[in-house]
Amino acid sequence: NAGVTQTPKFRVLKTGQSMTLLCAQDMNHEYMYWYRQDPGMGLRLIHYSVGEGTTAKGEVPDGYNVSRLKKQNFLLGLESAAPSQTSVYFCASSYIGRGLYGYTFGSGTRLTVV
């Protein structure tokens, strides 16, 4: 089925470990986003990309890096995980168009840092 696929779905990390979350979309969307969801705070934008080879910082970028080497993939990296990065991470993509931007969300990655 067409959509946004996030891997892995669950992960437990030790403090200081690194990992990469992969987001893949097969809808040829230009824009891709990484959000984190924490209780009582909604979804906050970490980084985003408006096209292949471009990335930009969102609201809470510290401690994360991203890359978009291919249009369909958007990677989120944690170089040295901290307990404060325990969260649910959502990737989303959207198309360029008049008026409504159609957003598609992945199913989320639940990350626990111990």
Partner 1 sequence: AQKITQTQPGMFVQEKEAVTLDCTYDTSDQSYGLFWYKQPSSGEMIFLIYQGSYDEQNATEGRYSLNFQKARKSANLVISASQLGDSAMYFCAMREKYSGNTGKLIFGQGTTLQVKP
User: Which residues make up the interface to partner 1 (CB under 8 A)?
Assistant: 31, 33, 35, 40-45, 48, 50, 56, 58, 88, 90, 92, 94, 96, 99-101, 103, 105, 107-108
Location of structure tokens 């930009």: 56
Distance CA 1, CA 79 (A): 32
Task: Decide if 44 contacts 60 (C-beta within 8 A).
Answer: yes
Return the number of the residue (14 or 42) whose C-beta is nearest partner 1.
42
Smallest distance from partner 1 to CB 80, Å:
27
β-pairing, 31-38 vs 87-94, is antiparallel
Smallest distance from partner 1 to CB 16, Å:
27
**Secondary structure letter of residue 95 according to DSSP:** -
Amino acid found at 99: G
Return the number of the residue (10 or 14) whose C-beta is nearest partner 1.
10
φ, ψ dihedrals at 84, nearest 5°: -65, -10
Return the number of the residue (17 or 44) whose C-beta is nearest partner 1.
44
Return the number of the residue (14 or 100) whose C-beta is nearest partner 1.
100
